[in-house]
Amino acid sequence: MSTPQIEAFLEMMAVERAASPHTLAAYSRDLADAETGISGGLMAAGDAAVEAWYADLGARGLSPATQARRRAAVRQFYRFALGEGWRADDPSRRLDAPKLGRSLPKSLSREEIERLLAAAAARDGAAGLRLVALVELAYASGLRVSELLALKVEAVRRDPAWLIVRGKGGKERLAPLNASAREAIKAWLAARDASLKPGTPESSWLFPSPDGRRHLTPRRFALLLDQAAVEAGLDPARVSPHVLRHAFATHLLEGGADLRVVQTLLGHTDIGTTQIYTHVAVDRLTQTVREKHPLARDG
């Protein structure tokens, strides 16, 4: 259920905060739940009504992460309402954030990345070259899947060592391309250009959909990775476009990269988001020492 106030809030988030369609959809669902679940609705509710709604989220079986997101949506809405003069108080001010367990990102080892690339390269023709380019580019640059698939062909025509990427909130950053990724892109561009029929306009996307009017979808890329994972002898549940971004960050930290540098390359606003990768890197290094160091072995 939406109200004029909720619509105004969502419009503000879209225009002033440059919120993505995915974020706006999530906020819309969260505020609709609050509007119907809070006695009297958002605009008329008092502290007790808001707290009762929030307490009921757990009783309904919602995960701590979902509870936290709904709390954030309601708190931001009430801050906006205060600023607009719609309310003189904030009934969400006493809502405590749910305790979230630390969720470590999935990653792949360097050897597993090599196996995935080998499986992609084993595919025939342009399909194999495209998948190799996708995996190499994602792993070399740490791009989000939306950023990767939205790349325009002009961005790579001159064989750049860095890409200028527009990420969340419209913020631009530099993303690196290593020699392996650049070679994979060159091979894909050659196959892509050769596939163009005479008189057919070229798609502006680096990885176009079959009709050329849109880019490859995240769902299609994920399916291609699943197939390559099976062929590489990997569990498909451990492989996804986002896992390639995790591998990029984890392997940089394992190699001694500065945390602030990794934060910049990933486009994280808060370094706390980046710090979680240090746990993955340390865990893997600890396991390596236990397995490889002679004094760490049992017996």
Catalytic pick from 70, 115, 192, 245? 245
Q: How many CB atoms lie within 10 A of CB 220?
A: 14
Q: Which of 79, 242, 279, 284 is catalytic?
A: 242
Active site includes 242?
yes
Residue 274's Cβ-side half-sphere holds a number of Cα atoms within 13 Å equal to 21
- Is residue 245 flagged as an active site residue? yes
Q: Which residue in the list 54, 78, 139, 277 is annotated as catalytic?
A: 277
* Local structure of 152: helix, strand or coil: strand
Note if 246 is an active site residue: no
Crossing angle of the two packed helices 179-194 and 125-141, in degrees rounded to 10: 150
Query: Is 69 part of the annotated catalytic residue set?
Result: no
Please state the φ and ψ torsions of residue 188, each to the nearest 5 degrees. Answer: -70, -40
Q: Are the CB atoms for 56 and 38 separated by under 8 Å? A: no
260 part of the active site: no
293 is catalytic: no
Of the candidates 104, 100, 101, which has an alpha carbon nearest to the alpha carbon of residue 249? 104
- CA-wise closest residue to 221 among 148, 296, 275, 114: 148
| Range 175-183, long-range pairs (CB < 8 A, 24+ positions) | 175/141, 175/142, 175/143, 175/147, 175/265, 176/140, 176/141, 176/265, 177/137, 177/140, 177/141, 178/140, 180/136, 180/140, 181/133, 181/136, 181/137, 181/139, 181/140, 181/141
Q: Which is catalytic among the residues 144, 182, 192, 215?
A: 144
Cβ contacts of 176 within 8 Å, gap of 6 or more: 140, 141, 161, 162, 265
- CA-to-CA distance for 151 and 181, rounded, in angstroms? 14
Catalytic residue among 168, 186, 220, 284: 168
Q: Where are the beta strands (DSSP E) in 143-298?
A: 162-166, 172-176
Name the residue among 93, 88, 10 with its Cα closest to residue 51. 93
Return the active site residues: 144, 168, 242, 245, 268, 277
